[in-house]
Amino acid sequence: MSARQTATAAARAGRTPKAEPDWELVYKRNPVERIKRDKSPLGILDELPALIAAGYERVPEEDMVRLKWWGLYHDKPKVGTFMLRVKLPGGRVSPAGLRAIGEVSNRYGRGDGELSTRQNVQLHWLELGTLPEVFERLHAAGLTSAGGCGDAVRNITGCPVAGLGANELFDAQAVVDEAAAFFYGNPDYSNLPRKHKITISACADRCNAPEINCIALIGVVHEGVEGFAVRVGGGLSSVPRIARDLGVFVAKEEALEVLAALLDAWKEDLRYRVSRVKARMKFMVDDYGPEGIRAEVERRLGRRLPDYELEPPPELGDHLGVHPQKQPGLSYVGVPVPVGLVSGDQMVAIADLAERLGGDIRLTRQQNLIATNVPDERVDETVAALAAIGFPLDVNRVRATALACTGEPHCNFSVTETKPRLASLVDHLEQRFGEEIAGLKLHLDGCPHACAQHWVGDLGFQGTTVRDEEGRRRQAYDVFLRGGLGPRAAIARPVFRRVPADELDGTVERLVAGWLEAREPGEDFRAFCDRSTDEELETLAFGSLARRKQPVSPAGPLPRDPRTPDTARAAPAHVGRGGDSNDRSWREH
């Protein structure tokens, strides 16, 4: 936006506009902007032979940053191996594509893989010298990692059963594919202020979490025309936001044009390049409000968009189980992938199964997978085959909705175990409560970046540390309650601080037992927490307030937009165990 446009938009939103910086100030304050100015990250693949010849230890740190634009991060510790994030628009991958990913994991890594909450596949243990062959193999299979990390459009998510779901409003996958083809690797959109997350879907269940994306196109039919409502400004990390309705209708054919206008308004405003901490689109929406953003988009389009009021969302769906497709005689089968872990051998086996069935594979936001186009007479055979590969359908549903980030041992940002720790907690709770916890949504992150979305789980956990009585640092977790997506979308609040890792099972067990004992008919865990005070929940979790040690000063209240839905009410951070703060929100991810 220009200075005048900024002032106008801010005035409409009732805010004082920020002073307009120039590029000199941006480059002075923001080292990543200098890295992008000096050399485009998109060209770093051409330099791989020279980097390999020089050796890992001599690769400049600036080039390590540029490698992020191709989906590469250091594995932990930084001793020469990488994580690679492969982007799958809408979570859709062909048998040949999944087989290629699995074979790359086996040949060049250590056979490890994981499914992410943005419908990517992530591989580990890849060495610098193998990267040219890795990229050659993936590109030959029609796959890309361009923009998997870095200041670019990340994987565009959607409903994993687009085109198949019997109750979808329309098939939005063509719009997902069009946007991916336009944005992925596009130099004009690979120098954004920060990462950018888009989701596009016409799923009746809104399974793709439109509430927590920078831009969400939500399928609707308006006056007989297929198109989208638009929400903007969602996101998590250390300053979470629920996306807000732009109040417009966008026809399918205009979707890409509107997406580009939104990104252009953000990327051209230098106010959101000075500080990496304030560089996400959600801060622009905070500053100008949806009314100001809409006005700027319409100015760029040269026309007014039709008004549209988005209806409240239904209960969140996950596409788990066996479901009939809209194509007669065919079904899809969604199975849990506990904490998103999948080996190279399993990926190859799933690809072989999908190829025999004549379908493809879809990955879900909940880190699960779906086999498609299963003939009805082969459903039982397919369910058995998936179980033999290691993904049985007949398990407690909590194993399908428990989300964990990459965490230790791979992620350099994580200060705690994540996937193994959550798997252990689920085992403990299932042994204690059985099917009574089938509806719980447990989300565990190892740092504030919130890749596993701990802000919107029934029970969210963020890794931190605590010092014991002898002064030794121990892993611990902050516990978040009252979060969620769907009709009760809300940002959770940290109610218990720094619970030592070895006390987490017992703490959560007592809290869940208290809910099961005191719940009203049909009352789920979230509703129980909403009507309970922090003190009451603390008493359930720890027996009595007297058992808790000295209070910990919380890091400070979370910034909260007054227009956030009422359900996202603040619950003050409460008593916790003594320890050191581990807020790493300034770091890049």
Which CATH code of 3.30.413.10, 3.40.109.10, 1.10.510.10, 3.30.1510.10 fits the domain covering 3-28+169-202+208-301? 3.30.413.10
Distances in Å between the Cα of 302 and the Cα atoms of 266, 267, 295, 305 are: 17, 19, 10, 10
What pLDDT sits at residue 76? 86
What pLDDT sits at residue 408? 87
Which residues share a beta bridge with 231? 216, 245
Preceding amide of 77 cis, omega within 30: yes
Q: Can you tell me the mean pLDDT for 292-303?
A: 98
Is residue 9 within 8 A of residue 298, CB to CB? The reply is no
Q: Can you tell me the mean pLDDT for 207-229?
A: 98
What pLDDT sits at residue 216? 98
Percent of the chain with pLDDT over 70: 89
Same fold, 3-28+169-202+208-301 and 400-568: yes
Instruction: Supply the angle between the helices 344-357 and 379-389 in degrees, to the nearest 10.
Output: 170
List for the chain the helix, strand, coil content (%; round to 5): 40, 20, 40
Q: For Cα atoms 156, 265, 220, give the angle at the middle one, nearest 5 degrees.
A: 50
- At 108, the amino acid letter reads Y
Residue pLDDT, tens place only, 433-490: 999 999 999 999 999 999 999 999 999 999 999 999 899 999 999 999 999 999 999 9
pLDDT-derived band at 409 (thresholds 50, 70, 90) equals confident
Structure-token pair, residue 61? 């740190």
Buried b (16+ CB within 10 A) or exposed e, 526-559: bbbbbebebeebbbbbbeeeeebeeebebbeebe
Where is pLDDT greater, at 545 or 395?
A: 395
Residue pLDDT, tens place only, 119-129: 999 999 999 99
What pLDDT sits at residue 547? 45
What pLDDT sits at residue 7? 55
Is residue 290 within 8 A of residue 16, CB to CB? The reply is no
What pLDDT sits at residue 2? 55
CB atoms within 10 A of CB 502: 10
pLDDT-derived band at 19 (thresholds 50, 70, 90) equals confident
Q: Can you tell me the mean pLDDT for 248-268?
A: 98
Distances in Å between the Cα of 20 and the Cα atoms of 26, 268, 274 are: 11, 11, 10
What pLDDT sits at residue 544? 62
Nearest 5°: phi and psi at 114?
Answer: -150, 150
pLDDT-derived band at 79 (thresholds 50, 70, 90) equals confident
Which residues share a beta bridge with 323? 332
Where is pLDDT greater, at 123 or 574?
A: 123
Instruction: Supply the angle between the helices 504-518 and 419-433 in degrees, to the nearest 10.
Output: 40
How many angstroms separate the CA atoms of 422 and 445, rounded?
Answer: 9
pLDDT > 60? residue 340:
yes
How many angstroms separate the CA atoms of 170 and 310, rounded?
Answer: 17
pLDDT > 60? residue 545:
no
pLDDT-derived band at 141 (thresholds 50, 70, 90) equals very high
Where is pLDDT greater, at 572 or 298?
A: 298
What pLDDT sits at residue 585? 29
How many angstroms separate the CA atoms of 143 and 88, rounded?
Answer: 8
pLDDT-derived band at 549 (thresholds 50, 70, 90) equals very low
pLDDT-derived band at 16 (thresholds 50, 70, 90) equals low
- Length of the chain equals 589
Residue boundaries of the structural domains of the chain: 3-28+169-202+208-301, 400-568
Q: Can you tell me the mean pLDDT for 257-285?
A: 97
What pLDDT sits at residue 13? 54
Preceding amide of 409 cis, omega within 30: yes
Residue pLDDT, tens place only, 487-526: 999 999 999 999 999 999 999 999 999 999 999 999 999 9
How many angstroms separate the CA atoms of 457 and 195, rounded?
Answer: 23
Which residues share a beta bridge with 370? 334, 362
Nearest 5°: phi and psi at 4?
Answer: -65, -45
Q: What is the mean pLDDT of the chain?
A: 91
Distances in Å between the Cα of 184 and the Cα atoms of 43, 197, 208 are: 14, 12, 20
Residue pLDDT, tens place only, 80-90: 899 999 999 99
In the sheet with 361-363, reading across from the earlier edge strand, the strands are 92-93, 361-363, 369-375, 330-335, 321-324
User: Structure pTM?
Assistant: 0.90
Could you name the CATH architecture of 400-568?
Answer: 2-Layer Sandwich (3.30)
pLDDT > 90? residue 6:
no
Is residue 126 within 8 A of residue 134, CB to CB? The reply is yes
pLDDT > 70? residue 546:
no
What pLDDT sits at residue 1? 57
How many angstroms separate the CA atoms of 490 and 456, rounded?
Answer: 7
What pLDDT sits at residue 151? 98
